[in-house]
Amino acid sequence: MEKTKYWLVKSEPFKYSWEKFNEDGRTFWDGVRNYQARNNLKAMKEGDLVLFYHSNEGKNVVGIAKVVREFYQDPTTDDANWVVVDLSPVETLKNPVSLEQIKAEPSLADISLVRQGRLSVMPLKAAEFDKILEMGA
């Protein structure tokens, strides 16, 4: 079986919050209009784990989701360049992990959240994913 991959997705809480995601139970991840982020969506496999990050306000990793459907055409646009994946919530972090905490942690210095602040969908190494979970426990 293919090894689980790890990701981080960002959402502005006023647009789509972790609380709303939990109410919905499942959503497609739309609105990605950056080729690098789109390619990351295309690389996601069913069962991969995803950290949910509130951007702009909060700036916290707040929960874990998982990929429940691999990429397909974004239903919010006719442009075939753009895709979505379906995600569903798995668990809320006991303590949200802030961007400041992440930046202060030497083992997380290379993650895209720190290096490419505008990227909305990014891969994480297993050790980075685990470290953020440990910080949020």
Pairwise CA distance, residues 58 & 48, whole Å: 25
Residue 105 scores a pLDDT above 80: yes
pLDDT at 57: 87
Question: Could you tell me the two tokens for 61?
Answer: 């990793």
pLDDT at 135: 98
Exposed, middle or buried, 43 (CB in 10 Å: 0-12/13-18/19+)? middle
- The mean pLDDT of the chain is 96
32-84: pLDDT as tens digits: 999 999 999 999 999 999 999 999 989 999 999 999 999 999 999 999 999 99
Task: Give the rounded percent of residues in the chain with a pLDDT score beyond 90.
Answer: 93
Residue 2 scores a pLDDT above 80: no
Residue 134 scores a pLDDT above 90: yes
Residue 1 scores a pLDDT above 80: no
